[in-house]
């Protein structure tokens, strides 16, 4: 990205000017793209008029041949050139090769208008297909291409405009009304409202308070605000999303890969059949005329061209990816659209997936040794090293006086934290953590349903705090819609206490649940499920400890807002809004995409088989063949574009 400074007072003028230049360049590019086809069409029409009116006797012989050659070159030369390039690379049997043979063959038997028409309509079909693919790709990119170009950073006691890539972590950035947030950060202003539609697919403004996270690409809706950058631009949410979407279009589905492989086998077979259709009748037909059978073979080649099939299928997947992106669902590849349709079992984490992950301290119980304030200072010091939602709730607890500092803090997966605070060894976590360190814990805590953090100081049990979470607003709706989408079994696996896990599962009507699990336990449970016959598992999670399960599942789905970077990187699908109800929507989009792709395959093959038979039997002319081929392509394109216009609510 080119770095430059822009005077903010001139910014709107600059953008306006650039917009006009872009429009002018865009219009010029469109004209250049379509000009060859327009020229060939005009030449063809004039040629046909001159050809079929005997008044113009001069239009004969070499004049007629040269006229049609001139009409043919603008649309034919690029195709022949591409065919030749493929041949040099060792790839003989391409659609370019088929079209070149068919049209040159038509010229060789004197069917000049048909030769030009075949190539012209092929070129027009390619232009329409190219435009549709470009639009589909553009829709995906436009949904997420909200990359900010400028950041107003506070340096040397003044705000200067620089490229977001130059902003450092910890710097203060000012964002004015209507401007995009250039980097991920923490809100310094008391309150702010943002449009996050490009990131999450949600049109409802997101209102944040001081200290809450703000994501790059959000648009400031009211008042001048300040944020503190917490990530470099390359690590920001918008950069990550752009990267995911760009990679998604490169990762093909199995259907798409199969069709491309099929086309490579299908095309040479068609060429050999066309040769056979030209020569073999000589041995079986009494009144064999080479020109007539060559003409039939050329028709056979035109209609058999697989270009419409090869283009319309990826176009369908582009449409599906675009529809998902518009709804705040990011898929890392077209293959996962197919995989979503096969899922019949959904396994989900609890905290941050179906619950808000916003905990608050409910009870605080200490022994006689430490006061409540001292106890919390020890606990807060060690929990400052954790990003777990429960840790955040503990950190919100206010204590008087100067806090303590922790050193040598380590995380024990699935159990809790260990560290040194003011020379004392502190353990903070679940019962398993304390028991593994030979610390006795009262059995009365087993009756507590809420999440609990037990604390030991210098090898002795010191007390505990209980914290409570609440269900997400759409949690009940999510379970209902997931079932409606065809999922037969819904399971909850959680590292939280089994009692609270069972309580949440019962509230939501989940089929089976298990709590108190370590990451390896979750992994073992999912691997057991995958061994069951005809079981395809999707796992939904958000934490670092969910990453192994996300990786091993048939489909890994991560919550993109609250989720950890590791979970997001490991997952196949990312829910940007953190709404579990979007899972059912992702399944619906996947099924609709697959349906449209197979409709296009059936349409293309059905029409081609019919016209191939008519052409081989001499009942179809080259005009009918080319119109049938282009018509199939256009119908497939229109069918695929429907995905981008569907309402998924």
Q: What is the pLDDT of residues 189-198, one digit of tens each?
A: 988 888 776 5
The pLDDT mean for the chain works out to 80
Quick: pLDDT tens for 293-329.
Answer: 888 888 777 777 766 666 667 777 877 887 887 788 8
Looking at residue 70, its pLDDT comes to 95
Question: Highest mean pLDDT: which of 168-172, 292-296, 327-331?
Answer: 168-172
Separation between Cα atoms, residue 81 and residue 363, nearest integer Å: 77
Separation between Cα atoms, residue 234 and residue 168, nearest integer Å: 11
Residue 112's closest CA among 66, 81, 149?
A: 66
Q: Is 80 exceeded by the pLDDT of residue 455?
A: yes
Question: Distances in Å between the alpha carbon of 514 and those of 481, 499, 510, 526, 569?
Answer: 22, 9, 11, 12, 26
Separation between Cα atoms, residue 250 and residue 278, nearest integer Å: 40
Q: If pLDDT is split at 50, 70 and 90, which confidence band does 68 have?
A: very high
Looking at residue 147, its pLDDT comes to 56
Task: Mean pLDDT check: name the lowest of 4-13, 269-278, 591-600, 622-631.
Answer: 4-13
Looking at residue 56, its pLDDT comes to 61
Quick: pLDDT tens for 121-134.
Answer: 778 767 776 666 66
Looking at residue 14, its pLDDT comes to 33
For residues 500-512, b (16+ Cβ closer than 10 Å) or e, as one string? bbbebbeebebee
Residue 330's closest CA among 88, 17, 557, 168?
A: 557
Average pLDDT in the 345-352 region? Answer: 89
- 0.85 cut: is pTM over it? no
Q: Is 80 exceeded by the pLDDT of residue 234?
A: no
For residues 396-424, b (16+ Cβ closer than 10 Å) or e, as one string? ebeeeeeebebeebebbebbbbbbebeee
Looking at residue 72, its pLDDT comes to 93
Contact partners, residue 196, CB within 8 Å, separation at least 6:
202, 205, 206, 215, 217, 218, 219
Separation between Cα atoms, residue 508 and residue 521, nearest integer Å: 23
Looking at residue 174, its pLDDT comes to 92
Active site residue 349: yes
To the nearest 10°, report the CA torsion of 358, 362, 365, 371.
80
Residue 586's CB: how many other CB atoms inside 10 A?
28
Looking at residue 55, its pLDDT comes to 60
Q: Say if CB 576 and CB 329 are below 8 A apart.
A: yes
The 3-state DSSP class for residue 207 equals strand
Looking at residue 344, its pLDDT comes to 94
Looking at residue 481, its pLDDT comes to 93
Looking at residue 574, its pLDDT comes to 85
Residue 360's CB: how many other CB atoms inside 10 A?
14
Contact partners, residue 238, CB within 8 Å, separation at least 6:
144, 146, 147, 148, 199, 215, 216, 217
Give the gyration radius of the chain's Cα atoms: 33
Domains in the chain with CATH codes: 147-246 (2.70.150.10), 360-468 (3.40.1110.10)
Order of all β-strands in the sheet with 185-187: 158-162, 151-155, 172-175, 225-229, 185-187, 213-214
Average pLDDT in the 60-70 region? Answer: 89
Looking at residue 16, its pLDDT comes to 36
Average pLDDT in the 334-354 region? Answer: 88
Looking at residue 119, its pLDDT comes to 84
Looking at residue 204, its pLDDT comes to 60
Looking at residue 7, its pLDDT comes to 34
Residue 228's closest CA among 153, 146, 156, 148?
A: 153
Q: If pLDDT is split at 50, 70 and 90, which confidence band does 484 have?
A: very high
Quick: pLDDT tens for 499-538.
Answer: 888 989 999 999 999 988 888 888 899 999 999 998 999 9
Phi first, then psi: what are they for 276, rounded to 5°? -65, -40
Q: Show the beta-strand stretches assigned E in 555-634.
A: 555-559, 573-575
Looking at residue 27, its pLDDT comes to 54
Tokens of 340: 């979503």
DSSP string of 45-91? HHHHHHHT-TT-TTS-HHHHHHHHHHHHHHHHHHHHHHHHHHHHTT-
Q: Is 50 exceeded by the pLDDT of residue 25?
A: no
Looking at residue 545, its pLDDT comes to 67
Question: Distances in Å between the alpha carbon of 550 and those of 340, 356, 545, 573?
Answer: 14, 20, 10, 10
Average pLDDT in the 103-128 region? Answer: 81
Q: Is 60 exceeded by the pLDDT of residue 562?
A: no
End-to-end CA distance of the chain: 38
Active-site choice (184, 206, 338, 349): 349
pLDDT over 90, % of the chain = 18
Q: What is the DSSP letter of 166?
A: G
Q: If pLDDT is split at 50, 70 and 90, which confidence band does 567 have?
A: low
Quick: pLDDT tens for 236-290.
Answer: 766 665 565 555 445 555 665 666 666 677 778 878 888 898 899 888 888 888 8
Q: Is 90 exceeded by the pLDDT of residue 226?
A: yes
Q: Is 70 exceeded by the pLDDT of residue 643?
A: yes
Q: Is 50 exceeded by the pLDDT of residue 20?
A: no
Looking at residue 476, its pLDDT comes to 94
Separation between Cα atoms, residue 132 and residue 313, nearest integer Å: 12
Q: If pLDDT is split at 50, 70 and 90, which confidence band does 201 have?
A: very low
Separation between Cα atoms, residue 589 and residue 592, nearest integer Å: 5
Phi first, then psi: what are they for 315, rounded to 5°? -60, -40
Phi first, then psi: what are they for 648, rounded to 5°? -100, 5
Quick: pLDDT tens for 73-106.
Answer: 999 999 899 888 888 988 777 778 777 887 888 8
Q: If pLDDT is split at 50, 70 and 90, which confidence band does 173 have?
A: very high
Contact partners, residue 547, CB within 8 Å, separation at least 6:
564, 566, 567, 570
Looking at residue 19, its pLDDT comes to 39
Separation between Cα atoms, residue 649 and residue 641, nearest integer Å: 18
């Amino acid at each position: 990205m080119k770095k430059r400074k822009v005077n903010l007072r001139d910014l709107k003028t600059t953008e306006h000017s650039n917009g006009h230049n872009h429009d002018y360049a865009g219009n010029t590019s469109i004209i250049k793209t379509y000009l060859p086809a327009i020229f060939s069409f005009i030449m063809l029409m004039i040629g046909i008029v001159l050809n079929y009116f005997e008044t113009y006797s001069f239009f004969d012989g070499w004049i007629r041949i040269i006229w049609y050659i001139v009409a043919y070159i603008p649309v034919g030369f690029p195709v022949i050139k591409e065919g030749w390039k493929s041949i040099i690379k060792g790839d003989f049997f391409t659609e370019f090769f088929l079209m070149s043979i068919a049209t040159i063959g038509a010229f060789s038997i004197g069917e000049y208008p048909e030769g030009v028409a075949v190539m012209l309509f092929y070129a027009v079909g390619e232009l329409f297909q190219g435009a549709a693919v470009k639009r589909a790709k553009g829709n995906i990119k436009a949904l997420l291409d909200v990359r900010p170009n400028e950041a107003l950073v506070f340096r040397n006691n003044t705000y200067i405009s620089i490229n977001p890539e130059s902003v450092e972590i910890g710097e203060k950035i000012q964002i004015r009304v209507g401007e995009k947030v250039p980097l991920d950060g923490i809100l310094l202003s008391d309150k702010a409202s943002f449009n996050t539609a490009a990131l999450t697919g949600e049109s409802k403004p997101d209102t944040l308070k001081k200290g809450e996270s703000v994501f790059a690409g959000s648009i400031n809706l009211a008042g001048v605000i300040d944020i503190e950058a917490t990530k470099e631009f390359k690590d920001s949410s918008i950069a990550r999303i752009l990267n995911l979407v760009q990679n998604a279009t490169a990762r093909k589905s199995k259907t798409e890969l199969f069709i491309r492989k099929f086309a490579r086998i299908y095309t040479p077979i068609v060429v050999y059949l066309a040769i056979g259709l030209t020569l073999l009748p000589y041995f079986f037909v009494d009144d064999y005329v080479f020109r007539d059978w060559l003409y039939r073979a050329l028709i056979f080649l035109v209609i058999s061209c697989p270009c419409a099939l090869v283009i319309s299928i990826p176009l369908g997947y582009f449409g599906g990816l675009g529809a998902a992106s518009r709804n705040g669902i990011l898929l890392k590849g077209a293959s996962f659209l197919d995989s979503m349709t096969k899922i019949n079992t959904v396994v989900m984490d609890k905290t941050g997936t179906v619950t808000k992950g916003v905990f608050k301290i409910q009870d605080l119980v200490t022994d006689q040794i430490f006061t409540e304030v001292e106890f919390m200072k020890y606990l807060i010091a060690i929990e400052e090293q954790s990003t777990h939602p429960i840790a955040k709730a503990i950190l919100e607890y206010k204590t008087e006086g100067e806090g303590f500092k922790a050193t040598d803090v380590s995380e024990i997966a699935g159990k809790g934290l260990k560290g040194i605070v003011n020379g004392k060894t502190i353990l903070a976590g679940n019962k398993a953590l304390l028991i593994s360190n030979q610390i006795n814990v009262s059995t009365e805590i087993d009756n507590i349903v809420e999440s609990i953090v037990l604390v030991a100081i210098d090898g002795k049990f010191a007390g505990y705090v209980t914290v409570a979470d609440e269900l997400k607003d759409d949690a009940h709706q999510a379970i209902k819609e997931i079932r409606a989408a065809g999922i037969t079994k819904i399971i909850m696996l959680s590292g939280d206490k089994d009692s609270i896990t069972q309580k949440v599962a019962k509230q939501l009507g989940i089929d089976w649940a298990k709590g108190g699990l370590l990451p390896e336990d979750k992994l073992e449970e999912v691997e057991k499920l995958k061994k069951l016959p005809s079981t395809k598992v999707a796992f939904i999670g958000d934490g670092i400890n969910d990453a192994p399960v996300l990786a091993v599942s048939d489909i890994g789905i991560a919550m993109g807002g609250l989720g950890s970077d590791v979970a997001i990187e490991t997952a196949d699908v990312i829910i940007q809004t953190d709404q579990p109800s979007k899972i059912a929507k992702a399944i619906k989009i996947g099924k609709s995409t697959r349906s449209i792709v197979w409709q296009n395959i059936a349409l293309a093959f059905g029409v081609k088989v019919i016209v191939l038979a008519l052409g081989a039997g001499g009942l179809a002319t080259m005009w009918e063949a080319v119109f049938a081929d282009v018509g199939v392509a256009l119908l497939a394109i229109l069918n695929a574009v429907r995905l981008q216009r569907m309402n998924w609510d």
